[in-house]
């Protein structure tokens, strides 16, 4: 392995602590050098050798840093990414990439002009449940696909404390831009760009200014219908993955454990990392030649957020194609901003 990629984090909130720092400290392909902490200096408690800068300008002025992770509020993504690229840094950018397709194009154009890599952090491609669903679909055991449902529900009746998600004057707000990128990216990873789509949103929480419900109906070739749904007021969660084909059906709950494990202090290198508990298997039902049901319980693969950072490493060091392509991001924004 060539020299580690010297990396800086733009924030050390929940996402920095859970989704980034554990990976750039345990993967030998990275060196976690610095983080931006404007107020409380919390990173040092766990990473005493990491520098804590008081501003993004200080981070971007650090000539040793090659990769900057933009994990700041949604409405800052475009500005901070452009600043990082102009400072000569590769960028790993959290979802949503931006508020509009025009902003996304401008960012990728700038990265290309400077021979830098702009990579969108879509970690839900590496969730255990999605990977199992993908494997079942790609196996062909369901026959011609008829209908695919993916859901990402929560129950959070109270308005969130993060104003950038709850204020309608802020761009890239609401549930569409929060959980929408996860579901849309999952489907784009499987099937590409839809032929057509219909989008429905709603506001149900008391006092809410932004959407807290959405449904997308995506239409693909060969009469495939895909439904993506999310809501913040679902008390009884439905399965996260449901696939029906001419030869059978597959159903799987969202049981990925990586976020909870990381939040509890587990490292990605620990033996039990990413392994779903017993009783969380997906249910595959197929029909035999006599039209009798055959039921199988399929164990999900180990969740693999480390795989995302391996992809980042190989993109920067070996110029490999990052799995979330520029086209994928552009297609996602078409659906988000519609």
DSSP assignment of 184-245 equals HHHHHHHH-S-SEEEEEEE--STT--S--EEEEEEEETTTEEEEEEEESB-SSPPPSEEEEE
Q: What is the DSSP letter of 277?
A: P
The confidence band for 166, taking pLDDT boundaries of 50, 70 and 90, is confident
Least confident among 61-65, 128-132, 223-227, 290-294: 290-294
> What is the rounded distance in angstroms from the CA atom of residue 274 to the CA atom of residue 68?
26
Edge-to-edge strand ranges of the sheet holding 241-245: 196-202, 213-220, 224-231, 145-151, 241-245, 248-252, 282-287, 293-298
Fold designation for 5-123+307-322: Rossmann fold (3.40.50)
Contact 141, 249 (CB under 8 A): no
The string of DSSP codes covering 100-150 is SHHHHHHHHHHHHHTT--EEEE-GGGG-HHHHHHHHHHHHTTT-SEEEEEE
Surface-to-core class of residue 67, CB atoms within 10 Å of its CB (0-12 exposed, 13-18 middle, 19+ buried) = buried
Helix (H, G, I), strand (E, B) or coil at 248: strand
> pLDDT, tens digit, for every residue of 208-260?
999 999 999 999 999 999 999 999 999 999 999 999 999 999 999 999 999 99
Beta bridge partner(s), residue 213: 202, 231
Which residue shows structure tokens 């999900």? 300
Residue 330 in this model has a pLDDT that exceeds 70: yes
Decide if pLDDT at 170 tops 80: yes
C-alpha–C-alpha distance, residues 231 and 138, integer Å: 28
Residue 111: phi and psi, rounded to 5, are -60, -45
H or E element that contains 258:
helix 258-263
The CATH architecture to which 124-304 belongs is 2-Layer Sandwich (3.30)
What pLDDT is attached to residue 15? 96
Average pLDDT of the segment spanning 68-93: 97
Fold identical between 5-123+307-322 and 124-304? no
186's tokens: 């999952």
| Torsion on CA atoms 40, 120, 127, 285, rounded to nearest 10 | 150
- The crossing angle, in degrees rounded to 10, of helices 326-337 and 101-113 is 160
| Rounded average pLDDT over 54-67 | 98
- What is the rounded CA–CA span in Å between residue 48 and residue 269? 20
CA distances from 17 to 27, 71, 286, 325 (A): 15, 11, 42, 26
Instruction: Report the candidate in 72, 17, 96, 78 with the shortest Cα–Cα distance to residue 50.
Output: 17
What are the boundaries of each domain within the chain?
Answer: 5-123+307-322, 124-304
**Residues across the chain:** 338
Quick: pLDDT tens for 264-302.
Answer: 999 999 999 999 999 999 999 999 888 899 999 999 999
Is 185:332 a contact under the CB 8 Å cutoff?
yes
81 Cβ contact partners less than 8 Å away, ≥ 6 residues apart:
70, 91, 93, 98, 107, 118
Structure tokens at 245: 């084909």
For 49, left (φ over 0), alpha (ψ -120 to 50), or beta? alpha
Which H/E stretch holds residue 246? none
Binning pLDDT at 50, 70 and 90, where does residue 1 land? Answer: low
């Amino acid at each position: 392995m060539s020299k580690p990629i010297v990396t800086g984090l733009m924030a050390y909130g929940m996402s920095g602590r859970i989704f980034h720092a554990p990976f750039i400290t345990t993967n030998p392909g990275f060196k976690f050098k610095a983080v931006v902490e404007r107020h409380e200096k919390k990173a040092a408690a766990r990473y005493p050798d990491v520098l804590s800068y008081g501003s993004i300008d200080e981070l971007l002025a650090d000539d040793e840093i090659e990769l900057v992770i933009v994990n700041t509020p949604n409405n800052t993504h475009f500005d901070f990414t452009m600043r990082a690229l102009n400072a000569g840094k590769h960028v790993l950018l959290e979802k949503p990439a931006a508020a509009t397709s025009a902003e996304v194009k401008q960012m990728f154009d700038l990265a290309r002009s400077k021979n830098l890599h702009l990579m969108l952090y879509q970690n839900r491609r590496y969730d255990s449940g999605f990977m199992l669903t993908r494997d079942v679909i790609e196996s062909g055991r369901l026959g011609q696909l008829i209908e695919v449902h993916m859901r990402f529900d929560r129950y959070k009746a109270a308005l969130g404390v993060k104003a950038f998600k709850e204020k309608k004057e802020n761009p890239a707000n609401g549930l569409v831009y929060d959980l929408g990128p996860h579901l849309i990216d999952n489907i784009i990873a499987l099937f590409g760009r839809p032929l057509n789509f219909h989008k429905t949103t709603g506001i149900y929480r008391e006092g809410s200014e932004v959407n807290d419900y959405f449904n997308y109906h995506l239409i693909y070739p060969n009469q495939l219908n895909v439904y993506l749904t999310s809501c913040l007021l679902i008390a009884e969660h439905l399965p996260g993955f449901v696939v029906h084909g001419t030869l059978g059906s597959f159903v799987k709950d969202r049981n990925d454990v990586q976020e909870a494990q990381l939040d509890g202090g587990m490292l990605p290198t620990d033996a039990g990392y990413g392994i779903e508990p017993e009783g969380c298997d997906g249910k595959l039902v197929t029909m035999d030649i006599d039209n009798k049901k055959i039921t199988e319980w399929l164990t999900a693969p180990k969740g693999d957020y480390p795989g995302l950072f391996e992809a980042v490493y190989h993109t920067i060091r070996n110029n490999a194609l990052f799995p979330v392509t520029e086209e994928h991001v552009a297609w996602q924004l078409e659906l988000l901003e519609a």
